Amino acid sequence: MERKQHGLDYTLLFLVFLLMCISLLAIYSGAGQYFNEDPTYFVVRQVIWYGIGAIIIAGVMLVDFDHFKFLTIPLYGFGMIMLLAVEFFGTERNGAQRWIFGIQPSEFMKIFLILALAHLLYRLTSERNDFSVKADLILLGKVLAVGLPPFLLILKQPDLGTALVIGAVIATMVLMSGIRWRILFTLAGLGVGFIAVMVYLHQAHFEFFSEYLIEPHQLARIYGWLTPDDDTSGIGYQLNQAILGIGSGQLFGSGFMEGLQTQSDVIPEIHTDFIFTVIGEEFGFLGAMVLLIVYFLLFYRMIMIALTCNNLFGTYLVSGVIGLLVFQVFQNIAMTIGLMPITGLALPFISYGGSALLTNMLAIGIVLNVHYRTREYMFKSKEAYS
Protein backbone atom coordinates (compact mmCIF):
# COMPACT_ATOMS: atom_id res chain seq x y z
CA MET A 1 0.00 0.00 0.00
CA GLU A 2 1.50 3.31 -1.07
CA ARG A 3 1.97 5.98 1.60
CA LYS A 4 3.68 8.97 0.07
CA GLN A 5 6.25 10.16 -2.44
CA HIS A 6 9.33 12.03 -1.27
CA GLY A 7 9.60 15.71 -2.17
CA LEU A 8 12.52 17.67 -3.52
CA ASP A 9 15.66 17.23 -1.43
CA TYR A 10 16.39 20.80 -0.33
CA THR A 11 19.26 19.64 1.89
CA LEU A 12 21.15 18.31 -1.12
CA LEU A 13 20.43 21.46 -3.12
CA PHE A 14 21.58 23.67 -0.22
CA LEU A 15 24.88 21.76 0.03
CA VAL A 16 25.49 22.24 -3.71
CA PHE A 17 24.69 25.95 -3.23
CA LEU A 18 27.32 26.16 -0.47
CA LEU A 19 29.87 24.53 -2.78
CA MET A 20 28.99 27.06 -5.46
CA CYS A 21 29.64 29.96 -3.04
CA ILE A 22 33.00 28.48 -2.04
CA SER A 23 33.82 27.95 -5.71
CA LEU A 24 33.13 31.56 -6.69
CA LEU A 25 35.25 32.94 -3.84
CA ALA A 26 38.17 30.61 -4.61
CA ILE A 27 38.02 31.22 -8.38
CA TYR A 28 37.93 34.99 -7.94
CA SER A 29 40.89 34.96 -5.58
CA GLY A 30 42.85 32.39 -7.59
CA ALA A 31 42.54 33.88 -11.06
CA GLY A 32 40.08 36.73 -11.32
CA GLN A 33 42.48 39.47 -10.25
CA TYR A 34 44.77 38.80 -13.24
CA PHE A 35 42.18 40.34 -15.55
CA ASN A 36 42.65 43.97 -14.61
CA GLU A 37 39.85 45.22 -16.82
CA ASP A 38 37.44 42.49 -15.69
CA PRO A 39 38.48 40.75 -12.44
CA THR A 40 35.25 38.72 -12.47
CA TYR A 41 36.05 37.10 -15.84
CA PHE A 42 36.13 33.49 -14.59
CA VAL A 43 33.56 34.06 -11.85
CA VAL A 44 30.90 35.25 -14.30
CA ARG A 45 31.51 32.27 -16.54
CA GLN A 46 31.34 29.89 -13.58
CA VAL A 47 27.98 31.41 -12.62
CA ILE A 48 26.80 30.84 -16.20
CA TRP A 49 27.92 27.19 -16.04
CA TYR A 50 26.06 26.79 -12.75
CA GLY A 51 22.98 28.34 -14.34
CA ILE A 52 23.15 25.87 -17.23
CA GLY A 53 23.68 23.10 -14.68
CA ALA A 54 20.52 24.16 -12.84
CA ILE A 55 18.59 23.93 -16.12
CA ILE A 56 20.05 20.43 -16.67
CA ILE A 57 18.92 19.39 -13.18
CA ALA A 58 15.41 20.70 -13.89
CA GLY A 59 15.35 18.81 -17.20
CA VAL A 60 16.48 15.56 -15.57
CA MET A 61 13.78 15.95 -12.90
CA LEU A 62 11.06 16.00 -15.55
CA VAL A 63 11.61 12.33 -16.43
CA ASP A 64 10.97 9.48 -14.00
CA PHE A 65 14.37 7.88 -13.35
CA ASP A 66 12.81 4.47 -13.97
CA HIS A 67 12.46 5.48 -17.63
CA PHE A 68 16.23 5.93 -17.87
CA LYS A 69 16.41 2.16 -18.39
CA PHE A 70 15.21 2.68 -21.96
CA LEU A 71 17.98 5.20 -22.63
CA THR A 72 20.96 3.27 -21.28
CA ILE A 73 21.85 1.32 -24.41
CA PRO A 74 21.44 4.28 -26.84
CA LEU A 75 23.42 6.64 -24.55
CA TYR A 76 26.17 4.09 -23.91
CA GLY A 77 26.41 3.38 -27.64
CA PHE A 78 26.51 7.10 -28.44
CA GLY A 79 29.25 7.61 -25.86
CA MET A 80 31.35 4.80 -27.32
CA ILE A 81 30.91 6.20 -30.85
CA MET A 82 32.07 9.60 -29.64
CA LEU A 83 35.13 8.09 -27.91
CA LEU A 84 36.02 6.23 -31.10
CA ALA A 85 35.54 9.45 -33.08
CA VAL A 86 37.96 11.18 -30.72
CA GLU A 87 40.47 8.40 -31.40
CA PHE A 88 40.40 9.05 -35.15
CA PHE A 89 39.23 12.64 -35.60
CA GLY A 90 39.76 14.31 -32.21
CA THR A 91 41.56 17.58 -31.57
CA GLU A 92 44.87 17.40 -29.74
CA ARG A 93 45.67 19.83 -26.94
CA ASN A 94 48.64 19.73 -24.59
CA GLY A 95 49.71 16.33 -25.89
CA ALA A 96 46.32 14.67 -25.39
CA GLN A 97 43.61 13.91 -27.95
CA ARG A 98 40.41 14.26 -25.91
CA TRP A 99 38.19 16.76 -27.72
CA ILE A 100 35.88 16.65 -30.71
CA PHE A 101 33.55 19.45 -31.85
CA GLY A 102 34.70 21.45 -28.82
CA ILE A 103 33.45 18.92 -26.24
CA GLN A 104 35.13 16.22 -24.19
CA PRO A 105 33.08 12.99 -24.62
CA SER A 106 34.90 11.25 -21.76
CA GLU A 107 33.19 13.58 -19.25
CA PHE A 108 29.70 12.58 -20.37
CA MET A 109 30.73 8.94 -20.67
CA LYS A 110 31.00 8.88 -16.87
CA ILE A 111 27.24 9.38 -16.59
CA PHE A 112 26.41 7.10 -19.52
CA LEU A 113 28.45 4.32 -17.89
CA ILE A 114 26.67 4.77 -14.54
CA LEU A 115 23.32 4.44 -16.31
CA ALA A 116 24.46 1.38 -18.28
CA LEU A 117 25.95 -0.44 -15.28
CA ALA A 118 22.96 0.42 -13.06
CA HIS A 119 20.58 -1.05 -15.65
CA LEU A 120 22.77 -4.11 -16.15
CA LEU A 121 23.05 -4.84 -12.42
CA TYR A 122 19.36 -4.17 -11.86
CA ARG A 123 18.44 -6.66 -14.57
CA LEU A 124 20.94 -9.30 -13.44
CA THR A 125 20.37 -9.09 -9.68
CA SER A 126 16.58 -8.74 -9.75
CA GLU A 127 16.29 -11.91 -11.85
CA ARG A 128 19.09 -13.78 -10.11
CA ASN A 129 18.37 -17.23 -8.64
CA ASP A 130 21.88 -18.72 -8.82
CA PHE A 131 24.30 -17.56 -6.11
CA SER A 132 27.23 -19.84 -6.93
CA VAL A 133 30.81 -18.69 -7.45
CA LYS A 134 30.37 -19.30 -11.18
CA ALA A 135 27.35 -17.00 -11.26
CA ASP A 136 29.33 -14.31 -9.44
CA LEU A 137 32.15 -14.58 -11.96
CA ILE A 138 29.70 -14.33 -14.87
CA LEU A 139 28.16 -11.22 -13.31
CA LEU A 140 31.62 -9.72 -12.83
CA GLY A 141 32.54 -10.56 -16.42
CA LYS A 142 29.45 -8.77 -17.75
CA VAL A 143 30.19 -5.67 -15.68
CA LEU A 144 33.78 -5.59 -16.96
CA ALA A 145 32.59 -6.17 -20.53
CA VAL A 146 30.59 -2.94 -20.27
CA GLY A 147 33.09 -0.94 -18.22
CA LEU A 148 36.48 -1.81 -19.71
CA PRO A 149 35.96 -0.56 -23.33
CA PRO A 150 35.41 3.11 -22.33
CA PHE A 151 38.15 2.79 -19.69
CA LEU A 152 40.71 1.64 -22.27
CA LEU A 153 39.68 4.19 -24.90
CA ILE A 154 39.95 7.06 -22.40
CA LEU A 155 43.27 5.74 -21.10
CA LYS A 156 44.61 5.72 -24.67
CA GLN A 157 43.81 9.42 -25.29
CA PRO A 158 45.73 9.64 -22.84
CA ASP A 159 43.56 10.82 -19.94
CA LEU A 160 44.67 8.94 -16.85
CA GLY A 161 42.56 11.04 -14.48
CA THR A 162 39.24 10.36 -16.21
CA ALA A 163 40.20 6.71 -16.75
CA LEU A 164 40.75 6.36 -13.00
CA VAL A 165 37.31 7.91 -12.40
CA ILE A 166 35.79 5.33 -14.75
CA GLY A 167 37.66 2.64 -12.82
CA ALA A 168 36.26 4.00 -9.54
CA VAL A 169 32.71 3.88 -10.93
CA ILE A 170 33.23 0.27 -12.06
CA ALA A 171 34.67 -0.68 -8.66
CA THR A 172 31.75 0.95 -6.83
CA MET A 173 29.18 -0.85 -8.95
CA VAL A 174 30.97 -4.18 -8.51
CA LEU A 175 31.01 -3.60 -4.75
CA MET A 176 27.25 -2.95 -4.80
CA SER A 177 26.49 -5.99 -6.94
CA GLY A 178 26.63 -8.49 -4.07
CA ILE A 179 29.59 -10.45 -5.43
CA ARG A 180 31.39 -12.57 -2.82
CA TRP A 181 33.98 -10.76 -0.74
CA ARG A 182 36.62 -13.37 -1.47
CA ILE A 183 36.32 -12.56 -5.16
CA LEU A 184 36.67 -8.86 -4.40
CA PHE A 185 39.71 -9.50 -2.20
CA THR A 186 41.20 -11.62 -4.98
CA LEU A 187 40.75 -8.74 -7.42
CA ALA A 188 42.36 -6.35 -4.93
CA GLY A 189 45.26 -8.80 -4.55
CA LEU A 190 45.70 -8.93 -8.31
CA GLY A 191 45.81 -5.15 -8.38
CA VAL A 192 48.49 -5.05 -5.71
CA GLY A 193 50.40 -7.78 -7.57
CA PHE A 194 50.23 -5.77 -10.80
CA ILE A 195 51.71 -2.73 -9.06
CA ALA A 196 54.45 -4.92 -7.55
CA VAL A 197 55.35 -6.30 -11.00
CA MET A 198 55.48 -2.76 -12.45
CA VAL A 199 57.79 -1.63 -9.64
CA TYR A 200 60.03 -4.66 -10.23
CA LEU A 201 60.21 -3.97 -13.97
CA HIS A 202 61.05 -0.33 -13.28
CA GLN A 203 63.89 -1.31 -10.99
CA ALA A 204 65.27 -4.34 -12.84
CA HIS A 205 64.35 -3.72 -16.50
CA PHE A 206 63.95 0.01 -16.83
CA GLU A 207 64.52 0.19 -20.61
CA PHE A 208 61.70 -2.27 -21.29
CA PHE A 209 59.48 -0.57 -18.70
CA SER A 210 59.99 2.96 -20.05
CA GLU A 211 59.72 2.00 -23.72
CA TYR A 212 56.73 -0.36 -23.73
CA LEU A 213 54.74 0.01 -20.50
CA ILE A 214 54.51 3.70 -19.71
CA GLU A 215 54.53 7.05 -21.48
CA PRO A 216 57.36 9.50 -20.66
CA HIS A 217 54.96 12.15 -19.32
CA GLN A 218 53.27 9.58 -17.08
CA LEU A 219 56.63 8.50 -15.66
CA ALA A 220 57.53 12.15 -15.08
CA ARG A 221 54.33 12.63 -13.09
CA ILE A 222 55.15 9.65 -10.90
CA TYR A 223 58.65 11.02 -10.26
CA GLY A 224 57.17 14.43 -9.55
CA TRP A 225 54.88 12.81 -6.98
CA LEU A 226 57.37 10.50 -5.25
CA THR A 227 60.41 12.80 -5.33
CA PRO A 228 59.18 16.36 -5.87
CA ASP A 229 62.20 17.85 -4.07
CA ASP A 230 64.61 16.37 -6.62
CA ASP A 231 63.49 18.84 -9.30
CA THR A 232 61.74 21.80 -7.69
CA SER A 233 61.95 23.85 -10.88
CA GLY A 234 60.79 21.06 -13.18
CA ILE A 235 58.54 18.06 -12.61
CA GLY A 236 58.18 18.79 -8.89
CA TYR A 237 57.52 22.53 -9.30
CA GLN A 238 53.72 22.56 -9.23
CA LEU A 239 53.40 20.19 -6.27
CA ASN A 240 56.08 21.97 -4.25
CA GLN A 241 54.44 25.36 -4.77
CA ALA A 242 51.01 23.96 -3.85
CA ILE A 243 52.28 22.35 -0.65
CA LEU A 244 54.13 25.56 0.25
CA GLY A 245 50.93 27.55 -0.19
CA ILE A 246 48.71 25.17 1.78
CA GLY A 247 51.29 24.88 4.56
CA SER A 248 51.62 28.66 4.88
CA GLY A 249 47.88 28.90 5.53
CA GLN A 250 48.31 27.22 8.93
CA LEU A 251 45.16 27.28 11.12
CA PHE A 252 43.26 30.41 10.07
CA GLY A 253 44.78 31.19 6.66
CA SER A 254 46.35 34.36 5.34
CA GLY A 255 43.00 35.94 4.46
CA PHE A 256 40.89 36.33 1.33
CA MET A 257 43.09 37.48 -1.58
CA GLU A 258 46.08 37.68 0.76
CA GLY A 259 47.77 34.38 -0.08
CA LEU A 260 51.37 34.85 -1.21
CA GLN A 261 51.43 31.76 -3.46
CA THR A 262 47.90 32.30 -4.72
CA GLN A 263 48.37 35.96 -5.61
CA SER A 264 51.86 35.69 -7.09
CA ASP A 265 50.76 33.49 -10.02
CA VAL A 266 53.39 30.81 -9.33
CA ILE A 267 51.01 27.81 -9.35
CA PRO A 268 49.79 26.74 -12.81
CA GLU A 269 46.08 25.87 -13.15
CA ILE A 270 45.33 27.24 -9.68
CA HIS A 271 41.73 28.10 -10.59
CA THR A 272 41.09 24.61 -12.00
CA ASP A 273 43.04 21.53 -10.90
CA PHE A 274 44.84 23.16 -7.96
CA ILE A 275 42.04 25.29 -6.55
CA PHE A 276 42.29 23.54 -3.17
CA THR A 277 45.57 25.46 -2.74
CA VAL A 278 43.61 28.72 -2.68
CA ILE A 279 41.33 27.43 0.07
CA GLY A 280 44.19 25.94 2.11
CA GLU A 281 46.37 29.05 1.91
CA GLU A 282 43.83 31.85 2.29
CA PHE A 283 41.33 30.16 4.63
CA GLY A 284 43.70 27.81 6.42
CA PHE A 285 43.04 24.45 8.04
CA LEU A 286 39.64 25.62 9.30
CA GLY A 287 38.55 26.69 5.81
CA ALA A 288 39.69 23.39 4.34
CA MET A 289 37.79 21.55 7.08
CA VAL A 290 34.62 23.50 6.29
CA LEU A 291 34.90 22.39 2.66
CA LEU A 292 35.50 18.77 3.66
CA ILE A 293 32.52 18.85 6.05
CA VAL A 294 30.26 20.13 3.26
CA TYR A 295 31.50 17.29 1.04
CA PHE A 296 30.96 14.79 3.87
CA LEU A 297 27.37 15.98 4.38
CA LEU A 298 26.77 15.82 0.61
CA PHE A 299 27.98 12.22 0.41
CA TYR A 300 26.16 11.25 3.61
CA ARG A 301 22.92 12.60 2.17
CA MET A 302 23.46 10.63 -1.04
CA ILE A 303 24.16 7.45 0.93
CA MET A 304 20.89 7.91 2.85
CA ILE A 305 19.02 8.39 -0.44
CA ALA A 306 20.54 5.16 -1.79
CA LEU A 307 19.66 3.26 1.40
CA THR A 308 16.06 4.49 1.56
CA CYS A 309 15.34 3.95 -2.12
CA ASN A 310 13.13 0.89 -2.56
CA ASN A 311 13.97 0.56 -6.24
CA LEU A 312 17.15 -1.38 -7.05
CA PHE A 313 17.75 0.59 -10.21
CA GLY A 314 17.60 3.85 -8.25
CA THR A 315 19.95 2.49 -5.59
CA TYR A 316 22.49 1.50 -8.23
CA LEU A 317 22.23 4.91 -9.90
CA VAL A 318 22.91 6.81 -6.68
CA SER A 319 25.73 4.42 -5.75
CA GLY A 320 27.43 5.07 -9.08
CA VAL A 321 27.19 8.84 -8.56
CA ILE A 322 28.66 8.47 -5.06
CA GLY A 323 31.62 6.53 -6.45
CA LEU A 324 32.06 9.13 -9.19
CA LEU A 325 32.16 12.15 -6.87
CA VAL A 326 33.95 10.63 -3.87
CA PHE A 327 36.90 9.49 -5.96
CA GLN A 328 37.24 12.86 -7.68
CA VAL A 329 37.25 14.73 -4.37
CA PHE A 330 39.77 12.32 -2.85
CA GLN A 331 42.06 12.32 -5.90
CA ASN A 332 42.08 16.10 -6.38
CA ILE A 333 42.79 16.99 -2.76
CA ALA A 334 45.28 14.11 -2.36
CA MET A 335 47.26 15.15 -5.43
CA THR A 336 47.35 18.75 -4.18
CA ILE A 337 48.99 17.74 -0.89
CA GLY A 338 51.26 15.07 -2.39
CA LEU A 339 49.39 11.90 -1.39
CA MET A 340 48.52 10.94 -4.98
CA PRO A 341 50.09 11.60 -8.41
CA ILE A 342 48.92 14.68 -10.30
CA THR A 343 46.27 13.61 -12.80
CA GLY A 344 44.51 16.81 -13.83
CA LEU A 345 41.16 16.01 -12.20
CA ALA A 346 38.97 18.95 -11.23
CA LEU A 347 37.63 19.37 -7.69
CA PRO A 348 33.86 18.70 -8.05
CA PHE A 349 31.68 21.85 -7.91
CA ILE A 350 34.71 24.00 -6.93
CA SER A 351 37.16 24.07 -9.87
CA TYR A 352 36.49 26.37 -12.80
CA GLY A 353 35.31 24.60 -15.93
CA GLY A 354 32.27 23.76 -17.99
CA SER A 355 32.30 20.09 -18.99
CA ALA A 356 33.21 18.74 -15.55
CA LEU A 357 30.73 20.97 -13.72
CA LEU A 358 27.87 20.12 -16.07
CA THR A 359 28.62 16.41 -15.69
CA ASN A 360 28.53 16.73 -11.90
CA MET A 361 25.31 18.76 -11.99
CA LEU A 362 23.77 16.09 -14.21
CA ALA A 363 24.81 13.51 -11.60
CA ILE A 364 23.16 15.57 -8.84
CA GLY A 365 20.02 15.78 -10.98
CA ILE A 366 19.89 11.98 -11.16
CA VAL A 367 20.21 11.68 -7.36
CA LEU A 368 17.49 14.31 -6.82
CA ASN A 369 15.28 12.46 -9.28
CA VAL A 370 15.72 9.16 -7.43
CA HIS A 371 14.88 10.79 -4.10
CA TYR A 372 11.90 12.73 -5.47
CA ARG A 373 10.28 9.66 -7.02
CA THR A 374 11.04 7.20 -4.22
CA ARG A 375 7.74 6.11 -2.71
CA GLU A 376 7.17 4.84 0.80
CA TYR A 377 4.87 1.86 1.30
CA MET A 378 2.94 0.91 4.39
CA PHE A 379 3.14 -2.73 3.39
CA LYS A 380 6.17 -3.39 1.24
CA SER A 381 5.78 -6.03 -1.42
CA LYS A 382 7.90 -7.38 -4.20
CA GLU A 383 6.47 -4.73 -6.50
CA ALA A 384 7.82 -2.02 -4.21
CA TYR A 385 11.35 -3.04 -5.17
CA SER A 386 10.86 -3.36 -8.92
In angstroms, what CA-CA distances link 33 with 39, 44, 71, 264? 5, 13, 44, 11
- Predicted local distance difference test score (pLDDT) of residue 344: 79
- Domain assignment present for 309: yes
- Domain assignment present for 42: yes
Domain extent, residue 51, equals 2-184+231-385
pLDDT tens-place string over residues 179-226: 888 989 999 999 999 999 999 988 888 888 887 788 777 788 888 888
Using CA atoms, how far apart are residues 225 and 340, in angstroms rounded to an integer? 7
pLDDT tens-place string over residues 114-138: 999 999 999 988 777 666 788 888 8
- Predicted local distance difference test score (pLDDT) of residue 257: 87
Of residues 54 and 215, more confidently modeled: 54
Least confident of 62-71, 158-167, 217-226: 217-226
Residue 33 has pLDDT above 70, yes or no: no
Of residues 290 and 180, more confidently modeled: 290
Of residues 263 and 380, more confidently modeled: 263
- Domain assignment present for 8: yes
Residue 379 has pLDDT above 90, yes or no: no
Q: In terms of DSSP H, where are the helices of the chain?
A: 10-30, 41-61, 72-89, 105-126, 133-156, 160-176, 181-204, 206-208, 216-226, 237-249, 260-263, 275-308, 312-336, 355-372
pLDDT tens-place string over residues 2-20: 455 667 889 999 999 999 9
Using CA atoms, how far apart are residues 140 and 147, in angstroms rounded to an integer? 10
Number of independent structural domains in the chain: 1
- Domain assignment present for 281: yes
Residue 380 has pLDDT above 70, yes or no: no
- Predicted local distance difference test score (pLDDT) of residue 383: 43
Q: What is the mean pLDDT of the segment spanning 35-52?
A: 85
Top mean pLDDT of 98-107, 122-131, 352-361 is at 352-361
Residues 316 and 121 sit within 8 Å (Cβ to Cβ): yes
Residue 1 has pLDDT above 50, yes or no: no
